[in-house]
Structure 1
Amino acid sequence: MRVVWTDGGPDAVGTLREALAEALDGGPAVLPLNTRDPAASTLHEAMRPEDPVEPGTAVVVATSGSTGEPKGVLLSPGALLASADAAHSRIGGPGHWLLATPAHYVGGLQVLVRSWRAGTVPVVLDTSAGFRADAFAEAAALLDEGPRYTALVPAQLARLLDAGGRAVEALAGFDAIVLGGAALDARLRERARFAGARVCSAYGMSETAGGCVYEGVPLDGVTVRLGEGDRVEIGGPTLAHGYRSRPGLSREAFGGGWFRTSDLGRLDDGLLEVLGRADDVINTGGVKVPAATVERALLAHPGVAQACVVGVPDPQWGQAVVAVVVPAGAPPHAEELRSAVRAAAGAPAVPKQVEFASALPLRGPGKVDRAAVLDGLGHG
């Protein structure tokens, strides 16, 4: 296994591109790791790079997920390329990509795979010192003619829209912007549409080689069903073939050709709506309230920029619904937010407590760190 350390700079990404191209051609498997990740050494040790790699593996995507337990997702050349081909088929064919997200995560990695498949060289946004709207606009201007694509997380899209000017012009110049890593709320989608940005919300994870459901519709070859308790299950050629050195967990997660996600969903005439993670459901007074449902209701309020909803222990209710809100300007009244949730999601979903914060803690590519939110509330 070849370990490639990347800091988000063009040189490191170039090294990863070369290693990935070899792996897709049958060469040594690649383990990309982030030099700036405090958990990188733990992930490196857990992946056992000195041991033989499981057959058919091109890339090992190391993740600690929401549980904090290191896992290495095993992706074959076939899974990576099936994902790239299906994505191109959905958004308009092979083209030129701007890499604007970390390449050690599957979303950024897929930008490199799609570029390799298209026979093009991606433009790399230098994120070694963080994500900047002006640098994004400059990088976008370097893309060749033809279909132009990029992949972002919603937080990046919001920053670009907030920046205005050249950043918004750059967004409008893409033929498609694939958004993953976190849910796209309706208000941000409308802002993007008004700015002329062609956004496509993607659902997927490392175990599916990236986004495999675009705008609720599975990509070609991908199948989706609901398992026990409305748990989303995914099948098709983009699936990983297991976890690094975890045969038992691999059989449990991928048995029978289906990957059992941790997400709850709803299917309406083949259209998938993801309701949130199963372990984010709050049992309050015997009523099960998905945190994502409350968050959507809060985000529909014009005074809310970001929101995270968690359940905290409560002697009366079992769990109490608590909302941490990042206001868009002056904080709205808590009772006003409670009324909005009551109208949209019903009385059991109304937060018993509303806290305001200047920002939400993040982990991974734009995902809110719920464990850190609970820590901040004194319930870690």
Structure 2
Amino acid sequence: MRNSGLGSWPHRRARMAPKREAFTYNGISTTYGELAVRTTRLAWRLRELGVRDGDRVAYLGPNHPSFAETMFAAHQLGAIFVPLNFRLTPAEVGYQLADSGAHVVVHATSHVVDHPRAVSLDTYEDWLAGGSEEMIDVPVDISAPALILYTSGTTGRPKGAVLTHANLLWNTVNLMIGIDLAVDDVALVAAPLFHVAALSQILLPTFIKGGHCVITPRWDVDVCLDLVERHGVTLMFGVSTMFADVVASPRWPAADLSSLRVLLCGGAPVPDALIRAYQDRGLVFCQGYGLTETAPGATFLEAADSVARAGSAGTPVFFGDLRLAETGEIEVQGPNVTPGYWNNPDGTAAAFTSDGWFRTGDVGRLDDGHLYVLDRVKDMFISGGENVYPAEVENVLTGHPDVAEVAVVGVPDERWGEVGRAFVRLHDGASADAAGLREFLLPRLAKYKIPVHFDVVTSLPRTGSGKVLKPELRRLPL
């Protein structure tokens, strides 16, 4: 094949194991052989709409096999795939479609898209069926752009991080080295696929190995537990809030989790209490650290160290390097790192050091080669001349038996410059108050780290990838 990119993957896998299950969605399975035919048909239909090498093809909707089919079909033509966050407003979607210059957008029926070449999933099957089964073998170099993934955009306009086919391949290799993926692994894809972690840490590695992906359109604790039991799920990725939801479920004590071999968690610092909850069940809970721009794996904590080094984000991935700047900012380098941002040379230049290392914007420390992520550079605040890392305070507060989750931000203070403000969501039926929470923290943290203000809330604002929107919390009046 002249296509060295992801577009060739369905055919390469199909010629090895055409009858093996690739995807299951809503009880319906698609084999690798069937998937190769479907992606080829779709590639022909996209070509009929004018898609050529280097054009952009967007997708908007919840998790569905058509997401992967559209991606592989676009890559078969040498086009660039643009997954869009289905939680965005029409104006936000419109900006990203315009910024990427998407030639075609495939979208769920729940979303109305103002685009001259929009394909709705309600006509998708009939439309796809009209395509040819003759394989399209366009030359695609592995260094060519494969994805444009828009960052969460917590400040200003989101930037489109470009990931090449090589970035994604090397990330896949790093993940497979880290967890020893097997051909009989069954992966639950419950985190949103428009987020690079679900796509690159679960779907692509499982796919290249010939495993089975069970795809669910959205996160639901009961559905997750049902699918784990029904399909013997061995592998799952989630952000910490997803894993916290499982522990908080009334089904947690009796749930059959015996098939689970590895749990992967990333996206934000993980509270120690949450890690212990899974380890106490005898489950392997592995953390990692990365960003959209690193495809996403920058570090990984392997199973052998998951207990002794609980709380660590692990060591640099096999094909990757990491260092700390004088400020403590984490910088990374490797074949998985983005070449830059789409149509944004200034943003690209600002993201790299003069010697080519990517600036993550996160602060960390190293202990015997293991990375501990302290916080975002911008989330750190200074109280009375002392640096306070909100993630450290959040980690301790989640150890309180009444606390389900917490977010801490710095707010102005006349005496200290800044002090902490904690937004706390309690477990159902819990009744902790500010005085009790402060008393809990006194023997566990230095006084300057203890928040001055406590707000008990029912929920926390989040980005599409599940991260807490701290800028929104900072703007709330005291």
TM-score, length-scaled by structure 2: 0.71
- Are 2:261 and 1:175 equivalent residues in the alignment? yes
Match in the other structure for 1:367: 467
Counterparts of 1:36 and 1:364 in 2: how far apart (Å)? 6
1:197, distance to aligned residue in structure 2 (A): 3.0
Residue 6 (structure 1) aligned to one of 57, 60, 63:
60
- Are 2:438 and 1:338 equivalent residues in the alignment? yes
- Are 2:155 and 1:155 equivalent residues in the alignment? no
- Are 2:130 and 1:79 equivalent residues in the alignment? no
- 8 A Cα contact 1:96 1:149, kept in partner: yes
- Are 2:186 and 1:96 equivalent residues in the alignment? yes
* Letter in structure 1 aligned against 2:460: L
Counterparts of 1:372 and 1:248 in 2: how far apart (Å)? 26
Counterparts of 1:323 and 1:217 in 2: how far apart (Å)? 31
SS at match of 2:351: helix
Two-structure CA RMSD over aligned residues (Å)? 2.5
* Letter in structure 2 aligned against 1:224: L
Residue 136 (structure 1) aligned to one of 209, 215, 224:
224
Gaps of 5+ in 1: none
Counterparts of 1:351 and 1:266 in 2: how far apart (Å)? 23
- Are 2:324 and 1:226 equivalent residues in the alignment? yes
**Using a 3 Å threshold, how does the CA distance of structure 1 residues 366 and 34 change in structure 2: closer, same or farther?**
closer
- 8 A Cα contact 1:26 1:58, kept in partner: no
Counterparts of 1:316 and 1:294 in 2: how far apart (Å)? 21
Counterparts of 1:168 and 1:24 in 2: how far apart (Å)? 44
Counterparts of 1:317 and 1:285 in 2: how far apart (Å)? 5
Counterparts of 1:58 and 1:6 in 2: how far apart (Å)? 17
**Using a 3 Å threshold, how does the CA distance of structure 1 residues 37 and 197 change in structure 2: closer, same or farther?**
farther
**Using a 3 Å threshold, how does the CA distance of structure 1 residues 48 and 344 change in structure 2: closer, same or farther?**
farther
Gaps of 5+ in 2: 1-54, 105-142, 302-313
Per-residue CA deviation, residues 50-82 of structure 1 (Å, 9 max, x unaligned), is: 59xxx7200111123332421011101111111
SS at match of 1:309: strand
- Are 2:202 and 1:202 equivalent residues in the alignment? no
Counterparts of 1:4 and 1:170 in 2: how far apart (Å)? 38
TM-score, length-scaled by structure 1: 0.89
> Mapping of 1:23-172 within 5 angstroms?
27-38=78-89, 39-49=92-102, 56-94=144-182, 95-110=185-200, 111-127=202-218, 131-141=219-229, 143=231, 148-165=234-251, 169=255, 171-172=257-258
Counterparts of 2:471 and 2:403 in 1: how far apart (Å)? 21
* Letter in structure 2 aligned against 1:180: G
1:155, distance to aligned residue in structure 2 (A): 1.2
Residue 385 (structure 2) aligned to one of 277, 286, 290:
286
Match in the other structure for 1:297: 396
Counterparts of 2:58 and 2:250 in 1: how far apart (Å)? 35
1:262, distance to aligned residue in structure 2 (A): 0.8
Percent sequence identity is 30
- 8 A Cα contact 1:4 1:15, kept in partner: no
- 8 A Cα contact 2:322 2:331, kept in partner: yes
Match in the other structure for 1:18: 69
> Mapping of 1:215-294 within 5 angstroms?
215=301, 216-255=314-353, 256-294=355-393
For structure 1, which segment, 303-312 or 40-49, has the greater mean C-alpha deviation from structure 2 after superposition?
Answer: 40-49
* Letter in structure 2 aligned against 1:75: L
* Rg larger in structure: 2
Number of residue pairs matched?
A: 368
For structure 1, which segment, 333-342 or 273-282, has the greater mean C-alpha deviation from structure 2 after superposition?
Answer: 333-342
